[in-house]
């Protein structure tokens, strides 16, 4: 019973703004750990390099555009 409760809470985790932010760069370590790097931290020290997740409010948030993804290709 407790096991199903745990998996339920994992599935309902708050989504982070970083996931859809243009400043975010995903880092996957060789061991498979995943980190979200905030590239805005390079120019603005107010933003941590690896913001504690999930981020629900952020003044630097910029929504990733489809067009931006197309331009990178």
Interface pattern 14-53 for ligand SF4 (x via CB under 6 A): ---xx--x-xx-------------x-x------x---x--
- Chosen residue from 11, 60, 70, 72 binding ligand SF4 by CB under 6 A: 60
The DSSP annotation for 21-60 comes to: BTTEEEEE-TTS-EEEEEGGGGT-TTS-SSPPSPP---TT
Structure tokens at 50: 């690896």
Q: Applying CB under 6 A, which residues contact ligand SF4?
A: 17-18, 21, 23-24, 38, 40, 47, 51, 55, 58, 60-61
């Amino acid at each position: 019973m407790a096991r199903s409760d745990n998996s339920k809470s994992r599935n309902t985790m708050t989504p982070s703004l970083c996931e859809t932010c243009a400043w975010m760069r995903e880092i996957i370590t060789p061991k498979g750990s995943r980190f979200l790097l905030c590239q805005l931290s390079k120019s603005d020290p107010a933003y941590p390099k690896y913001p504690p997740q999930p981020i629900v409010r952020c003044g630097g948030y910029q929504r990733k555009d489809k067009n931006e993804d197309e331009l990178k290709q």
